[in-house]
Amino acid sequence: MLIAPWHPAALLCLIVFFLSYVGVLMEERLRLIKSKPVMLGAALIWLIIALTAPTQGITHEQLHEAVNHGLGEYGALLLFLLSAMTFIGALQERRVFDFLNARLVRAGLNLRQIFWITGLMAFFLSPLADNLTTALVVGAIVLAVGRDSPRFIVPACVNIVNSANAGGAFSPFGDITTLMVWQAGKVDFFEFFSLFVPSLACFLIPAAIMSFFVPRDKPPALAQDIHLRRGAKFIMFLGLATIATAVVFEQFLGLPAFMGMMAGLSALMMTAHFIGKAESEDEDGFDIFKLLSRIEWDTLLFFFGVMFCVSGLAFIGYMEIVSRTLYEGWGPDVTNIAMGQISAIIDNIPIMFAVLTMNPEMSHFHWLLITLTTGIGGSLLSVGSAAGVALMGLASKQYTFTAHLKWLPVLALGYAAAIAVHYLLNGP
């Protein structure tokens, strides 16, 4: 350990970290920018380390090496997400999601059928898009068809949150945690699909129980006629091709996945240029840089703060202590299952980054287990995932923390079932 964990400076860093997280909770409650507390916390932690370094025999070279290592990890994540978010924004701008929404709304289905269709949509859309976008897109359908039926909206929103998180657990593109595990080289791309059946169990069991409480009423037909904008189908194809390129770069060429994503982003920019020139003057031109300006920069900067806060504590030696206590003391089975439950309260991103920073000696099965539990554990509470927080904002008067909490026993059953299926199918 470079700095003793009981050293006043180390303890001060720990206090700053906890205060930063409390600040994040307060910022989210006040609907302000959540990245500010953790960014400030990261800067303060590394400032304290730098001021203490001379008394502990730590050289400037060691500090630079540690910070640059964290910068490399963050840069890879930033560029990957920047590309992915731009593609999602392009699909939204070309009305792809609005088109799907309108088609379902006008399909003439009853509420229970829509409950299942929206759940399946969220489960299979989340592996390609992130769970936040999935929740907003599919949640808009639920609110459109069930605006006069609160008995439908609450279980449907709970179902969307659970299915989006479950679907994201078996794909590197479905959640930030799975992306980090993939980029860290702990699990290969195709090995994530061994979590498909456990994730499916996590979705199906709660959905089957909740569906009995959803009415069979037929919602009123809505007169919506939305058409795809120019180039929408080609952009969908380009998005899938970009994902394939990223996988090939990572798995077969030994290049980081973000290189493939950036290649796809450049192709999207060229496509946007020609679409913009082809559109008439009466239409708003397709400007890719407008989409870049609308990206969730707050989220991207939040990742910066979290990663550098945790890396600062790791530099001191706290992550090594936690790793020995949990993974060597409790064992990887109990620890990984508990981490998933904690992710319902604390965001799963700092939890997963902390585990990756600890880098405990675990089998391939247990790396898949922590990926599964942190992916689906956020569904236990509405505040446990970005999908839940987004839907609480979208349907604030009906889908609330308390309304979600009533379904906790059912969701816990799905969480336990997913773990059991993982042990049964993938166990050592």
pLDDT at 27 exceeding the cut of 70: no
In sequence order, the 6+-apart residues with CB closer than 8 A to the CB of 272 are 90, 286, 287, 288
- Burial track 125-162 (b if 16+ CB lie within 10 A, e otherwise): bbbbbbbbbbbbbbbbbbbbbbeebeebbbbbbbbbbb
pLDDT per position as a tens digit, 343-384 = 887 777 778 888 888 888 888 899 999 999 998 988 888 777
pLDDT per position as a tens digit, 45-78 = 999 988 888 888 888 888 888 889 888 888 888 8
Q: Where in the sequence is the domain holding 290, given as residue range(s)?
A: 8-426
Lowest mean pLDDT segment, chosen from 16-20, 22-26, 44-48:
22-26
Residue 3 is assigned to a structural domain of this protein: no
In sequence order, the 6+-apart residues with CB closer than 8 A to the CB of 189 are 172, 182, 247, 250, 251
pLDDT of 30: 45
Residue 182 is assigned to a structural domain of this protein: yes
pLDDT at 423 exceeding the cut of 50: yes
H/E stretch holding 274 reads helix 257-278
pTM: 0.78
pLDDT of 142: 83
pLDDT of 344: 81
Q: Which of 172, 191, 188 is nearest to 180 (CA)?
A: 172
Q: Which of 343, 340, 344 is nearest to 369 (CA)?
A: 340
pLDDT at 106 exceeding the cut of 50: yes
Three-state secondary structure of 354-418: HHHHHCCCCCHHHHHHHHHHHHHHHHHCHHHCHHHHHHHHHCCCCCCHHHHHCCHHHHHHHHHHH
- Burial track 96-120 (b if 16+ CB lie within 10 A, e otherwise): bbbbbbbebbeeebebbebbbebbb
Q: Is the pLDDT higher at 145 or at 186?
A: 186
pLDDT per position as a tens digit, 238-263 = 988 998 898 888 878 888 888 998 99
Measured distance CA(174)–CA(158) in Å, rounded:
18
Residue type, 152: F
pLDDT band for 35, please (50, 70, 90 cuts): low
The chain-wide mean pLDDT, for the chain, equals 83
Residue 127 is assigned to a structural domain of this protein: yes
Residue 1 is assigned to a structural domain of this protein: no
Greatest mean pLDDT among 22-31, 139-148, 162-171, 250-259 lies in 162-171
Coil, strand or helix at 130: coil
pLDDT of 162: 93
Distance of CA 396 to the CA centre of its chain: 21
pLDDT band for 95, please (50, 70, 90 cuts): confident
Q: Is the pLDDT higher at 263 or at 273?
A: 263
Domain count, the chain: 1
